[in-house]
């Protein structure tokens, strides 16, 4: 074999060796970012902020697709029914883990069906009462529930939501029984607490903020490990006697289908982390009530596992279930 032919053969062999690892990463087609909730909601907002920056970082269009229904499970099902090639991402969070625990018919185990490639953001939830409420602190609310068992209501967007878990977690820790009032979404919760039809409600902090600024609700505590920068005068649960060490933040992140090539997943993870370094992205997320909080593949998986243990314990203690 001539030297020229030998070199051609060597280059061809090398190219064949790297194609299986890099073919998907080098794809020039668009990436679909599946969001399980409707356009205009908080999850959709954050996903679109991330998608725009990922488009720049990856050099490929990242297009948000709202696949609504089933508490985010329609979008998740669409991911796991697709190809494991990295061309579809799923924007998930608490529901990704908790809903299958609550509803066995979903039949999706995040550990088996997905590969978490990067956490994107965190936000806290806010335990709020109407502005005219006599309860000035979480201790007051708990005391009222102890004095008149099963009399204090709290509204949430539905059974099994993160807001519901917060309410049940507090009930269990305080040794009281609040009455859960599940609604079909957050808008109805807002309407009824503003009308004084609910004693309390659990909101995302971003949802509560406008009502706080308008003087319509009072936030008694936030559920993150630390105080919210948007509500610096409101204590975190971890600071309140009886609830020390208790924190349940809302988190969001991106997943691909299990079995996606490691190099492709790593490329996506790196792009997510780089996107969250952008000051513009941080500001836009903050405007939506989120804190940019990147975690790479392995660390993100570990974080979810710890959250899953907390959800499992709350479900067990409170016997929550979705039919």
Tokens of residue 160, six digits: 């099994």
Tokens of residue 189, six digits: 């919760």
- Domain assignment present for 69: yes
Full-model pTM: 0.83
- Asked if residues 177 and 171 have their Cβ atoms less than 8 Å apart, the reply is yes
Q: 229-239 pLDDT, tens per residue?
A: 889 999 999 99
Residue 218 sits in the same domain as residue 256: no
Count of residues making up the chain: 323
pLDDT exceeds 70 at position 20 = no
- Asked if residues 41 and 204 have their Cβ atoms less than 8 Å apart, the reply is no
**Whole-number pLDDT of residue 323:** 65
Count of domains for the chain: 2
Confidence of residue 64 (pLDDT cuts 50, 70, 90): very high
Q: Which domain holds residue 131?
A: 125-239
Which strands form 114-123's sheet, in the order they lie side by side? 62-66, 31-35, 88-93, 250-257, 114-123, 291-295
- Domain assignment present for 323: no
Mean pLDDT of 138-161: 93
- Domain assignment present for 300: yes
Residue 159 sits in the same domain as residue 74: no
Q: Which residues of 229-261 are buried (b: 16+ CB within 10 A; e: fewer)?
A: ebbeebbbbbebeebeebbbbbbbbbbbbbebb
φ, ψ of residue 20 to 5 degrees: the values are -60, -30
C-alpha 303/C-alpha 317 separation (Å) is: 22
Q: 153-156 and 200-204 as β-strands: parallel, antiparallel, unpaired?
A: parallel
Q: End of a domain among 205, 239, 273? A: 239
Residue 134 sits in the same domain as residue 229: yes
C-alpha 206/C-alpha 257 separation (Å) is: 30
């Amino acid at each position: 074999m001539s030297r020229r032919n030998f070199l051609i053969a060597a280059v061809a062999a090398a190219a064949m060796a790297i194609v299986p690892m890099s073919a998907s990463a080098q794809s020039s087609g668009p990436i679909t970012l599946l969001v399980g909730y409707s356009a205009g909601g908080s999850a959709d907002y954050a996903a679109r902020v991330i998608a725009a920056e990922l488009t720049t970082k990856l050099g490929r269009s990242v297009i948000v697709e709202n696949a609504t229904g089933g508490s985010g499970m329609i979008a998740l099902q669409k991911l796991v029914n697709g190809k494991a090639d990295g061309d579809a991402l799923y924007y998930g969070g608490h529901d990704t883990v908790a809903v299958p625990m609550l509803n066995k018919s979903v039949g999706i185990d995040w550990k088996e069906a997905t590969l978490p490639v990067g956490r994107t953001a965190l936000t806290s939830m806010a335990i709020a009462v109407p502005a005219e409420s006599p309860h000035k602190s979480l201790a007051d609310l708990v005391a009222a529930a102890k004095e008149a068992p099963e009399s204090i209501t709290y509204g949430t967007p539905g059974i099994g939501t993160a807001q519901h878990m917060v309410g049940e977690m507090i009930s269990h820790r305080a040794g009281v029984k609040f009455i859960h009032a599940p609604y079909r979404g957050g808008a109805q919760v807002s309407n009824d607490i503003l009308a004084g039809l609910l004693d309390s409600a659990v909101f995302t902090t971003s949802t509560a903020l406008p009502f706080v600024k308008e003087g319509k609700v009072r936030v008694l505590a936030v559920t993150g490990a630390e105080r919210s920068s948007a509500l610096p005068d409101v204590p975190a649960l971890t600071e309140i006697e009886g609830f020390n060490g208790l924190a349940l933040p809302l988190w969001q992140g991106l997943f691909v289908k299990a079995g996606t090539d490691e190099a492709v997943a790593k490329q996506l993870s790196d792009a997510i982390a780089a996107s969250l370094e952008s000051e513009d992205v941080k500001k836009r997320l903050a405007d939506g009530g989120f804190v940019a909080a990147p975690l790479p593949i392995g660390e993100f998986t570990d974080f979810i596992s710890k959250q899953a243990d907390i959800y499992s314990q709350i479900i067990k203690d409170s016997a929550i279930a979705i039919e």
